[in-house]
Amino acid sequence: MTKFLLSLIFALSIVLPSLAKEKVVYIDIKEVFMESKAGIDVKNYIQKKADEARNYIQTKASLANQNDPKAMQELQQEAMQKQQEINELQQRIVTKFTDFIKNAVNEFAKKNGYELVVDKQAVLFGQDKYDKTKDFLKFFDEKYQKEKPKFE
């Protein structure tokens, strides 16, 4: 009986510390997009490009002959082309930004010994201690400042 208790105590002393540290955590990726320095820079850059395109079309529209159907059709086609260019730019930037986040999550997980990191949107329930969004945001902002990646 004593050998059994000693074996049980020994086994628990090995297992319990490994269970105490969170190995599965979640991060609110939406919050990372909205609040990180990189996310804010990306949103501002896309908005700037969209504003430039809109101003360009508005300037052309003010100079165009409103009574010339051909000129108005060309202006409309050019506006659609500019919108398509902005959409493609946004798609490229978001893809590169998402890849940067994925790489950062991998580094963050390895650095902290996490075995699984999931997006908060996929979590039906999780105690707050498993939410590492704030820690990741700090890590991500530092990584962004250090590496200064270009997403365009």
Which two structure tokens, joined as six digits, stand for 94?
């978001």
Q: Which string of b and e fits 102-129 if b means at least 16 CB within 10 Å?
A: eebbeebbeebebeebeebeeeeeeeee
Q: Out of 20-24, 33-37, 112-116, 134-138, pick the least confident.
A: 20-24
Left if phi > 0, otherwise alpha if psi is -120 to 50, otherwise beta: which for 100? alpha
d(CA 145, CA 56): 32
23 pLDDT above the threshold of 50: yes
pLDDT for the residue numbered 25: 94
**Residue scoring higher pLDDT (11 or 36):** 36
* Nearest Cα to Cα of residue 131 among 61, 30, 63, 50: 30
Q: Considering the chain, what is the average pLDDT of its residues?
A: 86
11 pLDDT above the threshold of 70: no
pLDDT for the residue numbered 2: 53
- Per-position DSSP letters for 34-59, written without gaps between them: HHSHHHHHHHHHHHHHHHHHHHHHHH
pLDDT for the residue numbered 4: 43
Q: Which residues contact 139 (CB under 8 A, 6 or more apart)?
A: 104, 107, 108, 111
d(CA 42, CA 50): 12
How confident is the model over 74-81, as a mean pLDDT?
Answer: 91
CB distance 144 to 38 below 8 Å? yes
Q: Enumerate domains of the chain plus CATH numbers.
A: 22-147 (3.30.910.20)
